[in-house]
Structure 1
Amino acid sequence: MAEKEALELKSNLTTGLLDLLAGSRHVDTTIHVNGRSFQCHRVVLCAMSRYFDAMFSSGMLECQAGEVFLHNAHPAAFDVTLHFMYGKDIELTADNVCEILEMSSVYQIPALQSKCERFLSKDLCTGNCLTRWKLSSIYSCSWLGERSWEMILHHFKELATTDDFHMLGKEELIRIITADRLQVEKEEEVCKVALHWLEHDPARMGVLHDVFQHLKLPLMTQQYLESLHKAKAYIRENSTVCELVNKYAHRQRPGLHSASSVEERGEPDEIFRDRSEDVLVMVDGRRQEVVCYSLQRRKLFTLAKFPYFADGKAACVHLGDIFVSGGVSSVREKRLVRFNTKRNRWDECCAMNEGRSYHNLVSVGDQLFSLSGFLDDEPVSSIECYTSQGNSWQKAGDLAAPAGGISAAALGDMIYMFGGRRNRHEREMPTFQSFDTRTKTACILNDLPLPTCWSQAVVVDDFIHIFCPNGHVLGFEKTGPPRIMTVSPKLDGNYFSVVHHRGTFLVIQVGDAKYHDEVRIFQPDTGEVHIRHERLPRSLCDSKWVKVIINRHHLKYECSHPTHR
């Protein structure tokens, strides 16, 4: 009811403000934009725009007189921007969005900029991601920039042949070829792309050394570097580049990657380090072997062995590493271990105060929260908080409705929890509850549209997707209650993991010998689902798949028998 009243209040306020603007009533400011005048209210301008807030706070004479002149704005674009500031739901189009984005950036209107960025992200593809990446740099669009950047990294080989790529500036090229997560099989591919970019314009030979000193020459084969020296006259004619290529073409391979070797050469560590990859890591309850799946190469590799056996562990990614806690073996486990993705090893952390299994770990800022779960058949009510800096646990509070089998995810400082069971034998619940990590208070919110248990909650862009075993996909954001978004084909079992990857959700069946190699690709925009078969290992029903970034140097040992138990 409170949310409904809030929405009604917002609607009434917007209607009132737009009526005041349309009737020019109680106006106190006139904005002149290239021959067109707009009468408006400075309180609204200041509330929505940091630019106008600073202007009207500066004491400028023109502001005191209520007359403001904007010389670099287009009247039509300002008209749309002004109505947005008064609460109107404006329509963005391919023809006006760039101009409106410029207005939102110049006049510092975060809400409008966010709307433009999301619009431009809807049809993001290899044909426009370079252009929109550069656009995001001009207008400081972090949201659009991150998505454009991800597409550039994952489609580097395809983009490298386009006109947009050939028109990149030197600094833009260097930023791409030095990206740690650039998706390439071999460093020779990067060198070939850089050479094509240089050869596209003869004037670029002046920056030949600038580009070559950022290539990972030490990771290229001696044969390739020798052929490069022979085939490219402009390399032989540039003494500094020629010397650089020859040094690695005739190097002694042993010891090249050592820290002392890098220091002696006085060269950047980046050119000696392998790139990183997005991988899925499986944490299994009853085996120490840890398997990871490269999403780029679609191959399985083994990582450092897991330190203990237990069913019902919880796992999540926190501060770039994998944290795993609890479970049940011969005893109720209190352990917390951390997989260091940079060093490929498991480190023991401070143990929890209370053992639990089939629970949740949720990352919030620099803190890790352990909540829900079971002690034998009964739910655990306590919530514990772990800080990496102090390597310590402390009790943070209690659930409003103790339950196990819930899913949980955080938006800002709030942890939201969905469904569950009061004990292992009762029916699924529609309970929707939250925990405020700042005030350490919990409360029950509106019921879910349906009861659920063992669902999976995943956060993407301040929106939580809740995947239920019966195929329902719920959605939740802070502006309203959870709602049913779509119904996908029902899973063949109750146990699965969900991972977000580049705009889609990968739904992976666990604990099933027949369907373990099926990955359901869920498209959130359309609700479509298609099945892709991957070379994945069989797993137990309490196995967890999590996505992390790991250095390719650790992906040495490929699994030859992924289905072996």
Structure 2
Amino acid sequence: MQPAVGCVRVLVEDQTFTAEKRMLIGASEYFRGLFESGMRECSQEEIQLLQLPARGFAVMMRVLRGEQPILNSGEISDAIECAAFLQVRALTEHLIHIITSHNCSLMLETASVYGVFDLIHASALFMRDMYFKVREDLNFLPDHLLDYIESLSPSTFVAVATHSPSDQYLDDHSRTICYLDEAENIWRTLTSLPKQASTSLAGIAVMDNNLYIVGGVDGLSKRVVKLNFCYNTERNSWSEFPSLQHLRHSLTLTGQDGCLFAMGGMCKNSVLSTVEKYQVASNTWSFAACLPRPGEGIACARAMGRIFVCLWLPMDTTDIYEYKTHRDEWLLVTTLRRQQSYGHCMVAHTDNLYVIRNGPADDFLRCFIDCFNLTTQEWMSLSSYYVNSKGALFTATIRCDNVFTVNRSLTLVYNIEKDRWKPAKEGAGFPRSGSMHTFLLRLPSRGLAARYQN
């Protein structure tokens, strides 16, 4: 049967919405069944949805048109009801992207009422990461939801230092990935790196709770490492996956929707603009749209389910681009002009991008933070500066409302407030020298001590 075409008026409560049938069919299992059923609704120019909230339907329409609205409590509840009844995957994904410490319990409870499992799971994971702070305030939740939260593994702060491949005949016991045992305030060994793996100038990313290492160099000669490695957290095992088509080091690696993106980097003293995409399901690399300009060690962050990069033009210009994964194109989002001495990093929290940079000239040990809000499209400079030697902000990793930073001396955790990052607590320093990569992994709780502690 040919799908319905044209527009349709949808009556919800006392409001009328006009939408393209093709858009509704593509986004909603309910509308696909309605308009392709062969029943009279296929040819009607107006239909009525009973017992659905107009406010939730309005949110759905905004999302389907490409917006990413930040919602209040009432809008969240109504949107979840529409996502469940109309079976709109894009709306569910948007709700997952806007989970915060302020709305996670509402998301969990409402999603449970309407049976939106993906949102239940994402909300429970978020709450598990802050459970020790909020457990006493969650007595209103049913026991089965509390049990579900407690059954999940929390995110753990993990770090790996810079290592070249090891001599096959010599074990290097320092070539380990470690996690911070926050209860005991000690770094413990998670796993040893494969002997042929390099974390020196490599691309490192976590996707679906698996750790990926791509590229990097071997020793001072900067010979590019061909082998790529994946660490499966659940199985506590390493595997190899195919090499890049264009070998490189100093690349940036990020992952989304089952795909890794290796961006920029260097090859034979040339800075690259090429981007390669690895599809985990097919175990293949392919080229994607090139960066707007060449870059190495590019700052990258994911926010609201979107990928953003900083392309820096020394000494004062930072362009932030978004990579539109479905359209395979780059879009300039905003430009920041601040003086600085060398590179920077970027992290994301809710709909905010935080660009962390060192100061110019004599201020090079100070880290300054500028915040760009994706919803308002406005910049704000955080009120405080941060001494880089105190907490190595260029390794910042965010969990819920906390920023983890680390160097050899200490792990410093900040709490994100509106106009500043407030130091919250200190922990043990990472017992390795040199620069490092940091990230979050959910370590299996069953048998954790036996499997991971050295």
TM-score between both structures, scaled by the size of structure 2: 0.67
Partner amino acid, structure 1, of 2:188: F
Q: Does 1:331 align with 2:331?
A: no
Q: Please point out which of 121, 134, 147 is paired with 2:123.
A: 147
Q: Please point out which of 198, 206, 213 is paired with 1:317.
A: 206
> Separation in 2 of the partners of 1:45 and 1:467?
43
Give 1:318-397 correspondences, 5 Å limit: 318-324=207-213, 325-332=215-222, 333-335=224-226, 336-375=228-267, 378-389=270-281, 391-397=283-289
Cα gap change, 1:84/1:155 in structure 2, threshold over 3 Å: closer, same or farther?
closer
For the 8 Å contact 1:309–1:329, the answer to whether it is kept is: no
**Shift in Å, 1:407:** 0.6
User: Which whole-Å deviations, capped at 9, do the CAs of 1:206-250 have from their partners, x for residues lacking one?
Assistant: xxxxxxxxxxxxxxxxxxxxxxxxxxxxxxxxxxxxxxxxxxxxx
Match of 2:18?
43
For the 8 Å contact 2:216–2:249, the answer to whether it is kept is: yes
Q: Percent identity?
A: 13
> Separation in 2 of the partners of 1:158 and 1:445?
36
Partner amino acid, structure 2, of 1:155: Y
Supply the RMSD in Å over aligned alpha carbons.
4.9
Give 1:59-74 correspondences, 5 Å limit: 59=40, 70=50
Match of 1:534?
427
> Separation in 2 of the partners of 1:387 and 1:102?
31
Q: Does 1:483 align with 2:379?
A: yes
> Separation in 1 of the partners of 2:304 and 2:77?
31
SS at match of 1:447: strand
Structure 2 residues not aligned, in runs of 5+ = 1-8, 63-68, 164-173, 359-366
**Shift in Å, 1:413:** 9.1
Cα gap change, 1:541/1:456 in structure 2, threshold over 3 Å: closer, same or farther?
farther
User: Which whole-Å deviations, capped at 9, do the CAs of 1:445-494 have from their partners, x for residues lacking one?
Assistant: 643344665333335557644333432233354x6757336344224257
Give 1:20-39 correspondences, 5 Å limit: 38=14
The total of aligned residue pairs comes to 405
Give 1:225-240 correspondences, 5 Å limit: none
Q: Which has the higher contact order (CA 8 A, sep 6+)?
A: 2
> Separation in 2 of the partners of 1:150 and 1:390?
30
Q: Does 1:123 align with 2:102?
A: yes
Cα gap change, 1:152/1:476 in structure 2, threshold over 3 Å: closer, same or farther?
closer
**Shift in Å, 1:360:** 0.8
Q: Does 1:133 align with 2:97?
A: no
Give 1:399-438 correspondences, 5 Å limit: 399-410=291-302, 415-420=307-312, 427=315, 429-437=317-325
SS at match of 2:211: strand
**Shift in Å, 1:517:** 0.4
Cα gap change, 1:472/1:67 in structure 2, threshold over 3 Å: closer, same or farther?
closer
Cα gap change, 1:314/1:482 in structure 2, threshold over 3 Å: closer, same or farther?
farther
Structure 1 residues not aligned, in runs of 5+ = 1-27, 182-276, 560-565
Cα gap change, 1:540/1:137 in structure 2, threshold over 3 Å: closer, same or farther?
same
> Separation in 2 of the partners of 1:462 and 1:119?
8
SS at match of 2:178: strand
Q: Does 1:168 align with 2:143?
A: yes
Partner amino acid, structure 2, of 1:168: D
Q: 1 or 2, which has the higher helix percentage?
A: 1
Partner amino acid, structure 2, of 1:318: M
Cα gap change, 1:381/1:366 in structure 2, threshold over 3 Å: closer, same or farther?
same
Q: Please point out which of 276, 280, 283 is paired with 2:160.
A: 283
Q: Does 1:472 align with 2:448?
A: no
> Separation in 2 of the partners of 1:300 and 1:93?
40
Q: 1 or 2, which has the higher strand percentage?
A: 2
Larger Rg: 1
Match of 2:192?
305
